[in-house]
């Protein structure tokens, strides 16, 4: 639970809104009924129930976009309803929703919801005691919405930048292990749902430690970058490349079979031999372990089979390709 709240910004906002609604709206709903203002009490209860349902939906489904959109409508519509029923006192309930909407849904949708709520109140007019009060409230609400809009855009930009940094390898510019774990889990799920085929290729540069020891880590870094450039040149846009750690990389390839994979990997191996050279002019080669995703297999077992194939490739003298399926048949 804590992990999801920490790593899902919109879910944390939705949860916070739900908790605030229970603590803030419940006493007022009870007070309305106790005063005999049944319509206002029902409105408060309806808002509270709708928010709670949306929060539960967000937690159970993980669909925070839809839940946030519904909550923005509920918050805006609820604020308008309370203001209409209670008049001037109810207008104060609209300000929290004007701000919160920008964190529940996209900035454009939040603007439209806020403008719609203000327009409805202006047309109806019953919530205001005078024209001066109406224009003062609307002006203030627009200023608040503009400030929230700018802050929300800035916040989204910063969050996207942080997410990018958290999932990318700073040296090579490819995705890192954290991103790989997410994509492997998604591939397993796609296999379960529609039988999609995937191949996992683990690539490791041969004798890379020797390159670092002989020529320095800066040269080793340049070879890693060149290695990635060669890989990216020879893979499809749908393929995904990850840096697993050190000189080891992982390639996730959707929609491939064994025969097509053999041709692609053989061409890739030849290109690596031809393109990668050490400062001494010696070829820099790579060993490859490959595993096709099997029915009912989880990500850890899939990765373990590809790793075992890579280990066998290195045991066979390096600069070779081993397929996990062929390895299993040989052992069997």
Extended beta strands in 161-299, E state: 198-205, 240-245, 248-254, 286-292
CA proximity to 119, closest of 139, 95, 147, 138: 138
Q: For the stretch 203-228, what's the b/e string if a residue is b when 16 or more beta carbons lie within 10 angstroms of its beta carbon?
A: bbbbbbeebbeeeeeeebeebbebbb
Show the tokens assigned to 252.
């996730």
3-state secondary structure of 255: coil
φ, ψ at 251 (rounded to 5°)? -115, 125
Which residues are the active-site residues? 247
Sheet holding 198-205, edge to edge: 240-245, 248-254, 198-205, 286-292, 321-323
CA within 13 Å, CB half, 217: 2
Rg of the chain (C-alpha set):
29
């Amino acid at each position: 639970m804590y992990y999801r709240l920490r790593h899902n910004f919109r879910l944390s906002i939705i949860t916070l809104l739900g908790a605030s609604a229970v603590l803030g709206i419940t006493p007022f709903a009870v007070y309305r009924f106790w005063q005999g203002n049944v319509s206002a009490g029902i409105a408060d209860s309806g808002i509270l129930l709708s928010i709670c349902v949306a929060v539960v939906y967000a937690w159970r489904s993980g669909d925070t976009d839809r839940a946030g959109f519904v909550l923005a409508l509920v918050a805006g519509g609820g604020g308008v309803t309370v203001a209409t029923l209670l008049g001037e006192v109810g207008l104060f309930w609209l300000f929290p929703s004007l701000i919160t909407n920008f964190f529940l849904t996209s900035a454009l949708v939040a603007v439209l919801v806020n403008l719609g709520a203000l327009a409805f109140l202006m047309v109806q007019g019953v919530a205001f005691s005078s024209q001066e009060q109406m224009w003062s409230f609307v002006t203030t609400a627009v200023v608040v919405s503009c400030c929230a809009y700018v802050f929300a855009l800035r916040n989204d930009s910063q969050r996207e930048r942080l997410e990018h940094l958290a999932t990318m390898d700073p040296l090579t510019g490819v995705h890192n292990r954290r991103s790989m774990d997410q994509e492997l889990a998604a591939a397993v799920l796609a296999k379960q749902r529609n039988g999609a085929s995937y191949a996992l290729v683990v690539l490791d540069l041969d004798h890379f430690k020797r390159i670092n020891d002989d020529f320095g880590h800066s040269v080793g870094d340049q070879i890693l970058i060149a290695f990635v450039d060669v890989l990216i040149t020879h893979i499809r846009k749908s393929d995904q490349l990850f840096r697993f750690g050190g000189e080891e990389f992982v390639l996730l390839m959707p929609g491939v079979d064994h025969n097509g994979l053999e041709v692609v990997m053989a061409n890739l191996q030849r290109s690596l031999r031809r393109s990668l050279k050490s400062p001494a002019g010696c070829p820099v080669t790579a060993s490859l372990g490959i595993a096709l995703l099997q029915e009912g297999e989880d990500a850890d077992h899939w990765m373990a089979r590809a790793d075992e194939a890579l280990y066998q490739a290195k045991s066979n003298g390096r600069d070779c390709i081993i397929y996990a399926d062929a390895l299993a048949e040989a052992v069997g």
